[in-house]
Structure 1
Amino acid sequence: MKVVQVAHYYGPLGGIERVVYQFCQGLKGLYSVEALACNTSIKTVRTEEEGIPVTRVGRIAHFQRMSVSPSFPLHLRRMKPDLVHVHMTNPLAEVSCLFSGLKCPVIATYHMDVTRQRVLNSLYAPLQRMFLERTRLITVSSANFARTSPVLSNWMEKVRVLPFGISQKASIPTERTSEMLKKLRESFPGKVVLFVGRLIHYKGIEVLVDAMRSVQATCLIIGGGYLEQEIKKQIQQHHQENKIFLVGRVSDEELIAYYQRADVFVLPSVNRTEAYGLTQIEAMAQGTPVICTDVGTGTSFVNEDGVSGLVIQPGDSSALADALNHILRDEELRSKLSAGARHRAETLFTEEYMVMNLRNIYKEILR
């Protein structure tokens, strides 16, 4: 049986791409698995990466997070799949499934709602409805997200909850991790607040920077994105250059050290585009308490208020500052949340558990 995972991109770019990678690796022993995605240039490139054939189809244009690639449906059809798994939202992949002539079953993983592109979304909505009608099943990362999604309300009979997880092996510190942790403790001896993610609008980094004006701690921001210069200006305007540091991107081994060094991890997202927050699980796996926002998705399912961290309302820098100070000043609370975070990550959000559930879903469709 051949399964094709279809996504915007393939590779270690962000949360969705990581999930696609995990699905491919977790299924390759049971099925013939290939990945189909877009390239960032007009050239089509075929590679094999860790046992997975990957086709990155050339595109002729890109706007509003959408790629234009006339040959994409042809490449999908030529793969002759027995099952297609589309990671949404992805208009190009959805059009390809609808008009490539494929007769095989289609699964969708609905990762996020489109929240900011209202005009474009109104044009896309009819296509999306056609595609969801075509699907056999729709997986989501949490029941809370499915229940509150304006798109999925008409398709609940197709919805299956499939919580994302991280590899327990990848959470094990290495010698490089230990060396990095020692350096971080020397460089930042006081309390440390950590953010990990892309520097883009919905992540709410501006809210975090504003909140840090009322918090006596060092804030480390890991990641890159189009808001980097704006965030630098905001830090300078608030005279926080000796308090907030833009670290950039780091290796996986180094990232574990940052999670271990942090006293609290923050995911200050401001809207529903943040559907889950895998970085929360990475932090929790290292015993780091989490502060996240309740944006009506899976963020507050991953981080349970009072168990693994605190949950606050989005866009409120005062509430974020209060939550940070509460955790940083209360050693007993921080210890309790640390234990709860680790337990929750190890029991509910492992890659192994996720892949087992995914395989059961595939068996349901392909039996």
Structure 2
Amino acid sequence: MSRLKLCVFPNDPIISYYDKGEIKDRYYNPCNTFDEIDIISFTDNDVEESKVQTIAGDAKLKIHSVGRINLKNRSKNVNKILQLVRGIKPDIIRTYNPLVEGWFAANCAKELRIPLFVSLHIQYDGLRNLYKKTSFKRYLGLKYTEKFIEPFILKNADKITIVYKILESYVKRHGGKNPELLYNKIDFKRFSDATSLELPKPLVISVGRLTEQKNHQCLIESMRQVNANLLIIGNGELHDKLSQQIRDLNLQNKITIKKSVPNNEIQRYYKSADVFALAYDTELEGLPIPVMEAMASGLPVIVPYPKNEYSDGLEQVVVFSNRDSNSFAQELKKVLLDSKLRQELSAKSLRKAKEFDIDIMEKREADIYLELLRK
């Protein structure tokens, strides 16, 4: 039997995940389905394969650094990328967004007649609405992709998976068909069985990129009313602004921002907390990975109310809050001051998190690859 090869167009260079401590076992090779994983990286020099071999499982990992490619220089690189992928001779091409990386993946798949597997992790219509208010340059870029890039990718995909229910309407609106809901995966046992650290108590933990969509400023503001400590784990464009907000509110003694934690240690931080909270934009996300990790750690979870009919099954599991500081403060105090409620929410979190265990999700992802190979 010939060696099975997967060609991946990731969202970012692998070194960015390495630097953030987000390297995960078999992430690109579920159930060790493939013998070789070839990653097309849009950077000049990506991380050494030996440092991130675990993302490919037992397969041979090859990272092809092809230089910085974006929407502006896309046309100049079409033939170069096509020839590279032709030489790799992959059995399937995988991409994780409907933007420039996804366009190259779709173009190669179409030209070389190779199955294309697209997975989506954010609601791009919602992101356009956000950027229209916060970053007009990014908004214009996404208006361009909405017309010329995203439909091409979605229409040419042989398989589309989405990690939240709110993405289904986006896919259908832009020409995609029959997206399958496949949630992100977590190692339930690693989080549920973790040991805790010596951290200040009581402790609220919030994990996520420091961007507008995560709305950490709401949580920081809410802590003025809450007699507890807040640990934020994440980095991003708003780091300095959020740090200044903490100083302006004179909350340095109770709020800490930790830019990154290695993925193999993050479970100990969750286990040390009393409650998890994140005020993310439910127009963009439904069930972020940190929420799943927090539930697997047995934490009570406080998140914003979802869009109608798009709760991803969190009713009766988490505490919903309005997306403002006063509401979050009230819900935090309610949970922190009621030990019986915390125990009830903890049990519900653990039960729900088992649905996203890596064994279940990884097997389904591997089965999708096998289905594409049989076509």
TM-score by length of 1: 0.83
SS state of the match for residue 325, structure 1? helix
**Cross-structure match for 1:13:** 17
Does structure 1 residue 355 correspond to structure 2 residue 365?
no
SS state of the match for residue 293, structure 2? helix
Report how far residue 87 of structure 1 moved: 0.8
**Cross-structure match for 1:131:** 153
For the residues of structure 1 that align with 2:5 and 2:251, how far apart are their CA atoms?
53
Identity of aligned residues (%): 24
Does structure 1 residue 107 correspond to structure 2 residue 129?
no
1:39–1:58 CA contact under 8 A, matched in 2? yes
**Cross-structure match for 2:237:** 226
**Cross-structure match for 1:79:** 88
1:7–1:20 CA contact under 8 A, matched in 2? no
What is the one-letter code of the residue matched to 1:121? Answer: L
Does structure 1 residue 324 correspond to structure 2 residue 328?
no
SS state of the match for residue 226, structure 1? coil
Does structure 1 residue 305 correspond to structure 2 residue 315?
yes
Gaps of 5+ in 2: 132-137
For the residues of structure 2 that align with 1:18 and 1:84, how far apart are their CA atoms?
22
1:292–1:300 CA contact under 8 A, matched in 2? no
SS state of the match for residue 150, structure 1? helix
Does structure 1 residue 4 correspond to structure 2 residue 7?
yes
Report how far residue 168 of structure 1 moved: 3.3
SS state of the match for residue 89, structure 2? coil
What is the one-letter code of the residue matched to 2:117? Answer: I
What is the one-letter code of the residue matched to 2:341? Answer: L
Kindly report the root-mean-square deviation, in angstroms, between the aligned alpha carbons of the 2 structures: 3.1
For the residues of structure 2 that align with 1:78 and 1:251, how far apart are their CA atoms?
35
For the residues of structure 2 that align with 1:141 and 1:252, how far apart are their CA atoms?
20
For the residues of structure 1 that align with 2:268 and 2:353, how far apart are their CA atoms?
17
Report how far residue 12 of structure 1 moved: 7.2
For the residues of structure 1 that align with 2:240 and 2:93, how far apart are their CA atoms?
40
What is the one-letter code of the residue matched to 2:83? Answer: L
For the residues of structure 1 that align with 2:23 and 2:117, how far apart are their CA atoms?
15
What is the one-letter code of the residue matched to 2:289? Answer: L
Does structure 1 residue 212 correspond to structure 2 residue 223?
yes
For the residues of structure 1 that align with 2:23 and 2:263, how far apart are their CA atoms?
16
2:274–2:300 CA contact under 8 A, matched in 1? yes
**Cross-structure match for 2:373:** 366
Q: Residues 151 and 93 (structure 1 numbering): CA distance in 2 closer, same or farther, change over 3 Å?
A: closer
Gaps of 5+ in 1: none
Map 1:87-236 → 2, pairs under 5 A: 87-98=96-107, 101-114=111-124, 115=127, 116=131, 117-125=138-146, 126-142=148-164, 144-147=165-168, 149-153=169-173, 155=175, 157-171=177-191, 173=193, 177-178=195-196, 181=197, 183-184=198-199, 188=200, 190-236=201-247
1:7–1:90 CA contact under 8 A, matched in 2? no
SS state of the match for residue 236, structure 2? coil
**Cross-structure match for 2:134:** none
2:28 to 24, 31, 34: 24
Higher strand share: 1
Deviates more, 1:5-14 or 1:323-332: 5-14
Cα deviation, 1:136-192, whole Å, max 9, x if unaligned, reads 1110113x2234x43433556431111121123533656xx45xx2x22xxx1x321
1:3–1:31 CA contact under 8 A, matched in 2? yes
Cα deviation, 1:304-323, whole Å, max 9, x if unaligned, reads 1332x212233x11111111
For the residues of structure 1 that align with 2:272 and 2:229, how far apart are their CA atoms?
11
Q: Residues 57 and 8 (structure 1 numbering): CA distance in 2 closer, same or farther, change over 3 Å?
A: farther
1:60 to 53, 65, 68: 68
SS state of the match for residue 326, structure 1? helix
Cα deviation, 1:11-69, whole Å, max 9, x if unaligned, reads 6729x9969864424242x32241414254x24677351344131423236699x9x96
Cα deviation, 1:74-124, whole Å, max 9, x if unaligned, reads 332321111111111331332343157221111100111231233112211
What is the one-letter code of the residue matched to 1:26? Answer: P
For the residues of structure 1 that align with 2:67 and 2:339, how far apart are their CA atoms?
53
Q: Residues 342 and 237 (structure 1 numbering): CA distance in 2 closer, same or farther, change over 3 Å?
A: same
**Cross-structure match for 1:260:** 271
Cα deviation, 1:318-356, whole Å, max 9, x if unaligned, reads 11111111211222111100011011112x111110111
For the residues of structure 1 that align with 2:369 and 2:230, how far apart are their CA atoms?
43
Q: Residues 11 and 271 (structure 1 numbering): CA distance in 2 closer, same or farther, change over 3 Å?
A: farther
Report how far residue 257 of structure 1 moved: 2.1
Aligned residues: 347
What is the one-letter code of the residue matched to 1:262? Answer: A
